[in-house]
Amino acid sequence: MRVALVGARGHGARHVANLVRLGHDGLATFVGVVDVVDVEDLPVPSYPDLPSLAAELHPEIVVISSPPATHRDLVLSAFELGCDVLVEKPAVLSLTDFDDISAEALERGLVGQVGFQTQGTGSYRRLCSLIGSGALGDITGIGAAGRWVRTDSYYERSDWAGRQGDDGTLVNPFAHALQNALLLADVEERADIAVELELFRCRDNITADDTACVRVTAEGAPPVVVATTLCATTSLPPVVLVHGTLGQAVWWYDDDRLTVNDHRMAVAPSVDLLENLIRHRQTGEPLVAPLAAARAFTAIAEQCGKADVPLLPARRVGDRVVLDGIDEVVVRAAEKMATFSELGSGFGR
């Protein structure tokens, strides 16, 4: 399959390496890159826009790894050129845009895959199997906790970093935690979810949250609570907790590691999202992270972009900001299925 990449810097560099790998394996032909600046040491030609690339190189798949606010127009452009799409998360930032790109794909008989790569891990598939088999009993809640340290340079990497509507802990750095929890609760495509948000920032030079808690509920589904911060004392791998009447599953999705009642589970190898999209085109293999499964996530992202984000008092430690006590609070929220305010943490409303 002929594949083009939009956005070769930052996270896009990983796509460059993956496309080179797939080329060596004979699964894809990496034809070209679109970027607004010159990128050094690319193995393929670079173009200023997607139509000019497509006119000469005729890609069949377009990978989009550009800033979130550019995704809608780029996805629509790729669909109009007859290409399937792998778009980085968040796919788009509003339900209107989500409906627009979904309708365009349906009309043209094309597909979109979203860059939630942890859905391709063996640990995710094993966890889904355990839930589906009843091994954990009735699922009473899905909690997730993310605790990372981010320095000043994190917010200096681009003009949209830390900007409400484009960034925020639930929308970007811990988007996988939120999406995975929604999937495990089986509400990822639902429009009838109720969302409770508690968003905060500890830096006065950003407008997006760097500390957040969301609870999502829907009739007939277990509740979801995701608590996150970029102002932790120490960075630790993000974790998803599946609470069941017969036990608890603990999933470290970045590490592809899963335990059930403290027993380490064997897992199958991961599935690459682009390989999966290629096989979907060739053989009809089901998509790992289809666009349709990002509807609830997009609804929450849109609300995050409009919510009040008050400033919390925090302390500066060198080139980072630390919110004392938050490390424990985000874990308690995931364990107790409670919001910050319900925990009496002092961070809630």
SS (H, E, C) 213-273: EEEEECCCCCCEEEEEECEEEEEEEEEEEEEECCEEEEEEHHHCEEEECCEECCCCCCCCH
Q: What is the dihedral sign for C-alpha 228, 231, 232, 234?
A: positive
What tens-digit pLDDT sequence spans the chain (349 residues)?
A: 999 999 999 899 999 999 999 999 999 999 999 998 888 889 999 999 999 999 999 999 999 999 999 999 999 999 999 999 999 999 999 999 999 999 999 999 999 999 999 999 999 999 999 999 999 999 999 999 999 999 999 999 999 999 999 999 999 999 999 999 999 999 999 999 999 999 999 999 999 999 999 999 999 999 999 999 999 999 999 999 999 999 999 999 999 999 999 999 999 999 999 999 999 999 999 999 999 999 999 999 999 999 999 999 999 999 999 999 999 999 999 999 999 999 987 776 5
Contact 211, 323 (CB under 8 A): yes
Tracing tokens 């990497």 back to the chain, one arrives at 157
Q: State residue 1's pLDDT score.
A: 95
Give the separation between CA 304 and CA 167, rounded to whole angstroms. 9
Q: State residue 346's pLDDT score.
A: 76
Does the bond joining 237 to the residue before it have cis omega, within 30 degrees of 0?
Answer: no
Contacts of 120 (CB under 8 A, 6+ apart): 270, 271, 272, 273, 276, 288, 289
Q: Looking at the chain, how many residues does it have?
A: 349
Contact 225, 334 (CB under 8 A): yes
b/e per residue 177-197 (b: at least 16 CB within 10 A): bbbbbbbbbbbbebeebebbb
Q: State residue 348's pLDDT score.
A: 60
Contacts of 220 (CB under 8 A, 6+ apart): none
Give the separation between CA 282 and CA 294, rounded to whole angstroms. 24
CA 303 to chain centre: 16
Q: State residue 337's pLDDT score.
A: 98
Give the separation between CA 6 and CA 37, rounded to whole angstroms. 11
Work out the end-to-end distance of the chain between its first and last CA atoms, rounded to an integer number of angstroms.
Answer: 51
